[in-house]
Structure 1
Amino acid sequence: MEKKTLNTRSMIFTLYGDYIRHYGNVIWIGSLIRLLKEFGHNEQSVRAAVSRMSKQGWLQSEKKGNKSYYYLTERGRDRMDEAAERIYKLESPKWDGEWLILVYTIPEEKRHIRDELRKELVWSGFGLLSNSCWITPNPLDGQIHNLIQKYDIEGYVNYFRASHEGMSDHKSLVQRCWDLDEINELYSQFIQNYSQKYIIDKNKIEKGDMSDGSCFVERTMLVHQYRKFLFVDPGLPQELLPQDWLGDSAAALFADYYKTLAEPATRFFESVFEQGNQEIKKDNHYNFLDHPYMSPQSNNHS
């Protein structure tokens, strides 16, 4: 089954991001094992993944009596916040007609920094125009400053804000930097895979034929699949997208399906969480119908 192919560490990150961080950011290991059992992960693999994540600095443990609780470290929380911010790049912001251009010459002895920087730039939505020259139509000045500071590369970087005067048009420039056809094909596959599934599950839930546990699994799988677009979609402004762009339709489908699964899924999570985590309180501001992947744009369509 598809759900068993997802690695345990990745699933734990998803559960912290989607649920646990809204419930005091901490969970009893027994509850985590019980939740991951729904996806086919056994106790041994959960304990091994948690131990590895602790060694890597993502999680920290705390003993209360004979129970072990795990919470995200500051580094782990920062990563979650950073991911949540980056998610908003899928909103297709209004474009002011200008481009940010980032050019760097990082020496060979700092090659590892260059490789890391490249990954970060792609993840933030930059496109490679030519060797070491990256562009974006989005206002990512903040990300640029953060990256320069993070990698301590001030002396190797120049960045500009500019208008594109030629010799090709904007859309040709976009084609050189991003493969929108390939991204659109991925959106098309997502829509094909999930439109029918959404209608079937919606009917089942309305008739009471789908368990809360199944809704919990499906909601988590839906988020997992949709999250992949964060790694490939640069979140370009509407003006630069092709007419047959499917990103908005995929976002609307995600929002509708997510909201349909959210209540029973949360009910299941809380029923498991309440056993062994009685002293932990839910964040008062948490609304299970909201999700950072749902941009205002996708909500307008749904």
Structure 2
Amino acid sequence: MEKSLNTRSMIFTLYGDYVRYYGNVIWIGSLIRLLKEFGHNEQSVRAAISRMNKQGWVQSEKRGNKSYYYLTDIGKERMEEAAERIYKITSHSWDGKWRILMYTIPEEKRNIRDELRQELVWSGFGSLSNSCWISPNKLEKQVDNLIEKYDITSYVNFFISDYVGPHSDEHLVNNCWDLDEINERYEEFIQKYSQKYVIDKNKIAKGTMTDGECFVERTILVHEYRKFLFIDPGLPAELLPDRWLGDSAATLFSDYYKALAEPSNRFFREIFQEGNDLEVPNQDFDFLTHDLMVKKDG
């Protein structure tokens, strides 16, 4: 496979979908071997994990002559937040309140301001106007974490409020997000993966798809679906248009993911164990699909 997927982004995907179930830690050799399946070489993997280390997502630890990388507290929180959104099957209900974050960050802290904007978009906030961001979702914890992370208590105000007009709540939504464009992206995802799901499900049933192939397909599936975290704010059902495709895409993702789960988990475990001095959890792989099962059945 030609390398077409960003190395750093792929490492985030592997941590979120696999490594977090193994104590959030992995030997660099295992990481290199896993990413080789996607055309990434050792140099690019080491460069990407080093960058993640400098950014505070992971930390390294030497055990003998081997280097292990584990998620920091910030990294673990990001993985948990991402999983909560990725494995959500249906849109949640709304409490009718808007969360409003306003800030006046000085020019000399412009780099913090730029990073904060990116973080707010990722968390699901929309920009109503300059330095005024809103969301109908319960993001109090995320806001607290951002204020602490960037040490900006002096520059921000946060409100939880009703909207009393003069327009509608839907008007606010349309000012902040282009739902038609997001819907088009979901439609593209459904068109691309609905046929692949049927084909791969049949291959798995017939035993003509290897564990390694399942691992590659599942990782790419998660990697592609994960991109919606950066464009879809995860609005409650009450604020979505009638023909919303996000829930259909989530169901397709869930079904395809679970079809690939068992063989891809076997492949990951085999690579994880090779040359690894860590104690490997002695359990089957049902726990690796726990997030999806909980979101769908509970």
Sequence identity (%)? 63
Residue 169 of structure 1, CA deviation:
1.5
TM-score by length of 2: 0.88
The change in CA–CA distance for 1:146 and 1:283 in structure 2 (over 3 A counts) is farther
For the pair 1:85 / 2:81, whether they are aligned, the reply is yes
Closer, same or farther in 2 for the Cα pair 1:47/1:172, shift >3 Å?
closer
CA contact (8 A) 1:219 1:265 kept: yes
In 1: Cα distance, 2:161 partner to 2:54 partner: 44
Equivalence for 1:182: 181
Instruction: Give matches, 1:63-142, under 5 Å.
Output: 63-64=63-64, 67-74=65-72, 77-89=73-85, 91=88, 92-142=91-141
CA shift for structure 1 position 73: 4.8
> Cα gap change, 1:43/1:259 in structure 2, threshold over 3 Å: closer, same or farther?
same
Listed as ranges, the matches of 1:186-225 within 5 Å are 186-225=185-224
- Give unpaired runs (5+ residues) of structure 1: none
| CA pair 26-237 structure 1, distance change in 2 beyond 3 A | closer
CA positional deviation for 1:285: 9.5
Contact persistence 1:87–1:230 (CA under 8 A): no
- Would the aligned equivalents of 1:99 and 1:136 in 2 still touch at CA under 8 Å? yes
Partner of residue 43, structure 1: 42
Is the CA contact (8 Å cut-off) linking 1:33 and 1:43 kept in structure 2? yes
Q: Do the aligned residues in 1 keep the contact of 2:100 with 2:133 (CA within 8 Å)?
A: yes
Q: Distance in 1 between matches of 2:280 and 2:248?
A: 36
Name the count of aligned residue pairs: 293
Change (3 A) 1:258 1:155: same
Contact 1:89/1:234, CA 8 A, preserved across alignment: no
One-letter code aligned to 2:67: Y
- Name the counterpart of 2:233: 234
State TM-score, norm by structure 1: 0.87
Stretches of structure 2 lacking an aligned partner (at least 5 in a row): none
C-alpha spacing 1:112/1:249, structure 2 compared with 1 (3 Å): same
Q: Take 1:19 and 1:273, find their aligned partners in 2: how far apart are those partners? A: 10
One-letter amino acid of the counterpart of residue 211, structure 1: T
Give me the whole-angstrom Cα distance separating, in 2, the residues matched to 1:197 and 1:13. 24
Task: Give the aligned residue type for 1:210.
Answer: M
Q: Output one character per residue of 1:209-239: Cα deviation in whole Å (capped at 9) or x when no partner.
A: 1000000000100010010011111111100
Q: Which amino acid aligns with 1:208?
A: G
Give the match for residue 265 of structure 2. Answer: 266
Check conservation: 1:24, 1:281, Cα contact below 8 A.
no
Q: Could you say which residue in structure 1 is the equivalent of 2:62?
A: 62
User: For the Cα contact (< 8 Å) 1:86–1:124, is it kept in 2?
Assistant: no
Q: Distance in 1 between matches of 2:284 and 2:19?
A: 14
CA contact (8 A) 2:215 2:268 kept: yes
C-alpha distance 261-137 of structure 1, shift in aligned 2 (>3 A): same
